[in-house]
Structure 1
Amino acid sequence: MKTTTPAERDMQMNKATARDTRTEVLKRSIRANVPLRKTFVQAPKGAVSRHGPLKEFVTGRDLRGLKAYLMIVAACSSGVNGWTTTHDSAVWARMMDIDQTATEQSARTGAWRTLRRLEQRRLITCHRTGTKITVTLLREDGTGDPYDRPRGDTEENRFLQIPATFWTKGYDEQLDLPALALLLVVAREKNWSSFPAEKAPEWYGWSADTHERGLKKLLALGLVERREHYEKAPLAPMGVTMTYQYQRTAVVRPRKARKQATTPAAKTTTTSRAGGSR
């Protein structure tokens, strides 16, 4: 039987985990909430297709790619290094949890292939220099246009926000692909909106079954809450129709910015609206 030395045990005990790595990335980005253009989830009204780039992750069953992309947005969108971040391929692999089920070299290769898929979807650019991989963020709509910080001033620039605690407290680790996609869908809309499953193929590009499974998982995990909503329906047997409305629970809502002390003569008010309508 192979035994481990005290030094080996000490190394294993102190080795950074995937969550440690994601947390450190978020610390470097210096932000409590990560902005993501709503066009990633759904194209604006009037577009030929309402489907956003998110559809390709869902229909392609690419949970690893979606999680990696959201982390890249978190790492790059602060603009600290010009929408770009660089890490060793082993760090990228650990960030994506690949190192848990693969050898070191296979994990490095898996990380590179995941980033290349994102590049093929025109969401990032990436290149390697030795073992280092540099990633640059592109616009979230999949057009391949250069990234700029969303301001919310136009329909194409409206954005949702994901709190950093989504990663640092491990909520991301609990979600399967339908649940993660639906969390983004719910975050895209105003609080207490309806998300009819029969509209999912038209609005988002995935099946009604996937849509329902995602909402069910989010409810089970306590990441969204649901209420009944009744509307007048003169031709319905009961005179009303009932739909479910959803909103994120507090644990995955954007964190409020800390208030800064102001003088009466120089008081400023900052507001941010991430809401929108389908």
Structure 2
Amino acid sequence: MLRGGRGGQVRLKLYLSYLWLQKEDSARELAIRHSAWATLLDLPDPEKAGARRISDAQAWLEEHRFIDVRRTGRLNLVTVLDENGRGEPWIAPGAAAKREKETSDIGVLLHRYIQVPETFWTRGHIAVLSGAAVAMFLALLCENGGLGEEVPLWFSPRDAEGRFALSEDTRSKGLQELGKAGLITTKRRPVNETDFQAEAMYMRNVHFLRPERLAEPAAIVPRRRVVKVPRRRGPSADSE
């Protein structure tokens, strides 16, 4: 969704919001005005320009079979489809996992899922974060298996590309923004303390999710810039 051309972050946020509003085991139609979606996502000029961006995102999602749209007069009736993009009916992750567990003979289950807290929307985080930050937040949630115990998270640029189709620019930008939003903390850690001596130890950044921050109003706090001021020289020895 992010790589599908201009407007990727609106597509990603809109699709996540469609999923957020599903309350049953099967998808229900949503009849919500474009301007209302634009307001939720804090798009500029929600009645006009913002509504057009929602319309464009909705058209892309329909074309790529993430949603089905039924047009009736003033409102589009939207039904979310399965996340695989093959146009299959959407089934709630819990229901799909339960059904698969009861019927599958294989050891690896396909319908594993994580839950995004409601406060991601109600506290404005989805509106404040960029598409890159939202994507990285989802990737970190996936790595952590949800919002459970504090686990150091790390994956290489190759993993980000291979597993999540995220570029190095998206990975870097997203992680920096999540740090400024207080949703992660980043610390330097050795790769393996038992394999390397301190004087030759290889260090890397690891990230810790801060789920408690989701309950607070969203905000991006810019890093303080340190400006070096030249030292003022005193009067020369031969001045009067």
**Structure-2-length-normalised TM-score:** 0.69
Q: Go from structure 1 to structure 2 and tell me whether the alpha carbon gap of 1:201 and 1:192 turns closer, same or farther (over 3 Å shift).
A: same
Aligned twin of 1:74 = 20
Query: Distance between the aligned counterparts of 1:71 and 1:182, measured in 2?
Result: 17
| C-alpha displacement of 1:73 | 0.6
Deviates further, 231-240 or 135-144 = 231-240
Q: What CA deviation, in whole Å up to 9, does each residue of 1:195-218 have, x standing for no partner?
A: 223432223223212211111111
Identical-pair percentage: 24
Q: Go from structure 1 to structure 2 and tell me whether the alpha carbon gap of 1:57 and 1:252 turns closer, same or farther (over 3 Å shift).
A: farther
Aligned twin of 2:45 = 101
Aligned twin of 1:207 = 167
Given that 1:83 and 1:147 are in contact with CA atoms closer than 8 Å, whether structure 2 keeps it comes out as no
| C-alpha displacement of 1:188 | 0.8
Q: 1:160 aligns with which of 95, 106, 114?
A: 114
Q: Go from structure 1 to structure 2 and tell me whether the alpha carbon gap of 1:140 and 1:243 turns closer, same or farther (over 3 Å shift).
A: same
Name the amino acid aligned to 2:24: G
**Structure-1-length-normalised TM-score:** 0.61
Map 1:186-197; keep pairs closer than 5 Å.
186-190=140-144, 191-197=151-157
Aligned twin of 1:64 = 10
Structure scoring higher RCO (CA < 8 A, sep ≥ 6) equals 1
Q: Which runs of 5 or more residues in structure 2 are unaligned?
A: 102-107, 145-150, 216-240
RMSD after superposition: 2.9
Please tell me whether Structure 1 or Structure 2 has the larger radius of gyration of its CA atoms: 2
Name the amino acid aligned to 1:63: Q
Aligned twin of 1:217 = 177
Q: What CA deviation, in whole Å up to 9, does each residue of 1:160-211 have, x standing for no partner?
A: 2111111111122221121111111111112322122343222322321221
1:244 partner SS: strand
- The structure where strand makes up a greater share of residues is 1
Q: Go from structure 1 to structure 2 and tell me whether the alpha carbon gap of 1:246 and 1:108 turns closer, same or farther (over 3 Å shift).
A: closer
1:215 partner SS: helix
Aligned twin of 2:234 = none
Q: Go from structure 1 to structure 2 and tell me whether the alpha carbon gap of 1:174 and 1:193 turns closer, same or farther (over 3 Å shift).
A: same
2:91 partner SS: coil
Name the amino acid aligned to 1:79: E
Aligned twin of 1:174 = 128
Q: Which runs of 5 or more residues in structure 1 are unaligned?
A: 1-55, 255-278
Aligned twin of 1:123 = 66
Aligned twin of 2:54 = 111
